[in-house]
Structure 1
Amino acid sequence: VIEEVDEDTKKKSIKQIWPRYHQLDCVEKLLADVQENGVGKRYLIQHSAGSGKSNSIAWLAHQLIGLEKDGHPMIDSVLVVTDRRILDKQIRNTIKQFMQVKNTVTWAEHSGDLRKAIQDGKRIIISTIEKFPYIISEIGQEHKNNKFAIIIDEAHSGQSGRNSANMNLALSGLATDDDADNEDKINAMMEGRKLVS
């Protein structure tokens, strides 16, 4: 059940959202595969315009944090990463509306917010990819053994190359205070297209 606000009249309306078949199918298949094979795999989901991508992302993020194996969470945090602030706001609002538990979703508006959310072990973190380069050297290694699910919205040019490598280095816990050393690691990741596992 979500609440919508008409931007012109400011009138609120409540409506119930049901997944369409392709959304339900996609989310259930992803969850089943993670449950069966564990974390560390990559998936590509193609959506057409108007197919409800934000809702699919919200349902997937919400259910990923609930996956358990032997009574322990399989995933510590879900990062929903976008490359445009407009989408960032749209996805943040959609995910927040679907969450029944308050404080489950954190929006990292600034790089400091992103660093703190990762260090605090927040369950669902929404951010833009541009913030990762700023937190590499200061994020620390406390989260090195954490398992992250990364949902990348619009996995195209803005998500590839250097930005993606910066994100992977920040989450791997392998970053150091030495910028030159970090640059070498980023270059190696870009050359090998290695993702954090």
Structure 2
Amino acid sequence: MASSWKVVVNWLLPPPLILTILLMLPVPQVVRKGLLAFTRQFLFMKLAGQVLLVHVALVITGAAFTASSMHTYHISRTPLPDTLTPNQRTAILAKRWREERNFWIATLTFLLWGLLYRFYALAIDHVALRDRVRQLELAAVGATRGSTVTGSRAPASSTAGKGAAVEASAPPAPAEMLSGGKEEKKSK
């Protein structure tokens, strides 16, 4: 039993813990994309055929969680006899506390793998949506720039007429710029 806990603690606990912390850190977009690429390669590493590392880790840690929770429950339900010597009582309590510790390690490991898997999916969606917003903002700025050349009235904003000067890490455009020129619709 000790060798299986060694595998859980030494091999299955650190990777999701480190990757989850790294994905939560506020880093530049380029670094975040690199971290996401590394996390994708790590999580979806094929072990045998279509079996992925994340699935194996979830099964192993889920089994460890289930087994340790059942074992901890059964040990906690057994009452301590009053006839025990202090050394025997300490030995039984040490075994109970060791099982509780293993339960919390298994719980943490299982939840970290699930958290990393879900957090990775959310981070990928966030990066994709952020890139889409950038494209739409650049298109809106380009359309605004084109409308100033043709002589129509453009919405007043701090980024109007700058076009390509909007860099990839710029904050989102103001709402009046993205509205599509409400002043033009009202005047018609």
Give me the TM-score of the superposition, normalised by structure 2.
0.22
Structure number with the bigger relative contact order (C-alpha 8 A, sep ≥ 6) is: 2
